[in-house]
Amino acid sequence: MLKRLLLAAALIASDASASWSCPLCKEAIPEAADGQNNYDPVRQSLAYNYSIYFMLGVPFVVASAMGLFIYRQCRRIDRTVE
């Protein structure tokens, strides 16, 4: 069991350099037509910022939507009771 776990961890770690943290970060460093990377630290930092804002904002949007749904359902129930 431990050997399989270590093998899986090694396979995941060996592929880590080829993966990107998020799609916006991938777009921050585009590849040129000749295969060379045009590294732009400003675009990369903006991509990280947008990714963080997105990850922080989604839970609040989901919680707000659920709260609005519950609020409307409660108001609908109160109207039918009266």
Look at residue 13 and tell me if it is in a domain.
no
Look at residue 46 and tell me if it is in a domain.
yes
Look at residue 65 and tell me if it is in a domain.
yes
pLDDT of residue 3: 80
Range of the domain at 47: 23-81
Residue 36 has pLDDT above 80, yes or no: no
pLDDT of residue 18: 47
Q: How far apart are CA 60 and CA 21, in angstroms?
A: 22
Look at residue 7 and tell me if it is in a domain.
no
pLDDT of residue 15: 62
pLDDT of residue 60: 95
Residue 2 has pLDDT above 60, yes or no: yes
- Higher pLDDT: 26 or 73? It is 73
How many domains in the chain? Answer: 1
Look at residue 17 and tell me if it is in a domain.
no
Q: Is the dihedral of CA 14, 17, 18, 23 positive or negative?
A: positive
Task: Retrieve residue 76's tokens.
Answer: 């609908």
Residue 62 has pLDDT above 90, yes or no: yes
Stretch 55-59: mean pLDDT: 92
Look at residue 72 and tell me if it is in a domain.
yes
Look at residue 44 and tell me if it is in a domain.
yes
pLDDT of residue 37: 62
